[in-house]
Amino acid sequence: MPIRLDVVAVDRTVYSDDVDMVIAPGIEGEMGILPRHAPLMTALNFGILVVKKTGEPDEQIAIGGGFMEVRPDRVTVLADSADRAEEVDIAQADEARRKAAASLEQGLDTVDEERALAALKRAKLQLKLAERQGGRSRRPSPSAG
């Protein structure tokens, strides 16, 4: 009996399917969720959400914080940001990482510093996800710019 997983970012549904297990980056460490799990509501940290389905390779989604609601038959992730491995543009993520690091070096007010830190964490996470996938993430097309 699978469990339904819905991963929703601010701007879109990133993933929606029946799965066998979800491993989520909880604020106190990774959490494994199986079907018929006890109800739970928790905050999520920046990290990799792993989706397991029998007979298929694990799918990995970079999560930029948010919340997760678990019910016995359903897991709903409301993520501040979420990127599937095949969506990551390595060059763009690396550029975002460089820009965020440069912004932090300049000394910013509190709000801008928090935004730059979040951008830096997201870019590093995207690059980690791309590395885990063997560099198979999307490369920019020649017309992209």
How many whole angstroms separate alpha carbon 134 and alpha carbon 100? 24
Distances (CA, A) of 15 to 51, 66, 101, 138, 144: 10, 15, 30, 18, 26
What would be the CATH architecture of the domain defined by 3-84? Sandwich (2.60)
Closest CA to 14 of 90, 91, 87, 66: 87
Provide the residue ranges of all domains of the chain, joining segments of one domain with +: 3-84, 88-132
145 pLDDT exceeds 70?
no
Q: How confident is the model at residue 143 (pLDDT cuts 50, 70, 90)?
A: very low
User: With respect to CATH, is domain 88-132 assigned 1.20.5?
Assistant: yes
Amino acid (one-letter) located at 105: E
Q: What is the share, in percent, of the chain residues with pLDDT greater than 70? A: 90
d(CA 100, CA 143): 25
pLDDT tens-digit map of 56-98: 999 999 998 999 999 999 999 999 999 887 777 777 777 877 7
- pLDDT, one tens digit per residue, over 30-48 is 999 999 999 999 999 999 9
Count other Cβ atoms within 10 Å, centred on residue 13.
Answer: 10
